[in-house]
């Protein structure tokens, strides 16, 4: 997997079938704003969740910045970059309960990848929260 800064999210662009224990949904991810911003539209409304994110590469900081918002009223801001395993983004501040959040895109290949979200209190190990398998449909 090649690390290329502004094009690191190319693997994510497309239409995806998403599945997890007890559910499934659809995610449409596209370049917008002249190919400078990645817009995600996650639809799992039959399971009570719809969400969106906007991601942009911050060339000065040499990392990605993403903001996630969803139908539960949750939102958070993350930053991160590609690494040897895939892509990893973390929140920049602690939430009200004292946790940081982390999202990882791993086992990336042309037709899919694995996504997981975890949380951690400072100095503590990461605790899994959720995991989604992505399979390309378009």
Count: domains in the chain:
1
Nearest to 56 by CA among 73, 31, 75, 76: 31
Long-range contacts of 45-53 (CB under 8 A, 24+ apart): 45/71, 47/22, 47/23, 48/72, 49/25
Handedness of CA 8, 11, 15, 16 (dihedral sign): negative
Percentage of the chain modeled with pLDDT above 90: 93
User: How much is the pTM?
Assistant: 0.92
State which residues form the domain around 112. 5-136
- pLDDT above 80 (res 2): no
Query: pLDDT tier at 138 (50, 70, 90 boundaries)?
Result: confident
For residue 85 the two structure tokens come to: 């395993």
Tokens 């979200």 locate to: 117
What pLDDT shows up at residue 1? 43
CATH at residue 52:
2.40.128.20
What residues have CB less than 8 Å from 25, skipping those under 6 apart?
18, 42, 43, 44, 46, 47, 49
């Amino acid at each position: 997997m090649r690390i290329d800064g502004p094009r690191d999210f190319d693997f994510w662009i497309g239409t995806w079938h998403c599945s997890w224990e007890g559910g499934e949904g659809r995610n449409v991810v596209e370049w917008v704003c002249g190919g400078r911003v990645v817009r995600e539209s996650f639809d799992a409304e039959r399971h009570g969740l719809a969400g969106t994110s906007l991601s942009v590469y911050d060339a000065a900081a040499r990392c990605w910045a993403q903001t996630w918002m969803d139908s539960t009223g949750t939102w958070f801001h993350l930053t991160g970059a590609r690494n040897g395993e895939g892509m990893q983004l973390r929140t920049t501040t602690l939430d009200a309960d004292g946790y940081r959040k982390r999202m990882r895109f791993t086992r990336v290949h042309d037709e899919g990848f694995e996504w997981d979200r975890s949380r951690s209190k400072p100095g503590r190990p990461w605790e899994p929260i959720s995991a989604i398998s992505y399979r390309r449909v378009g």
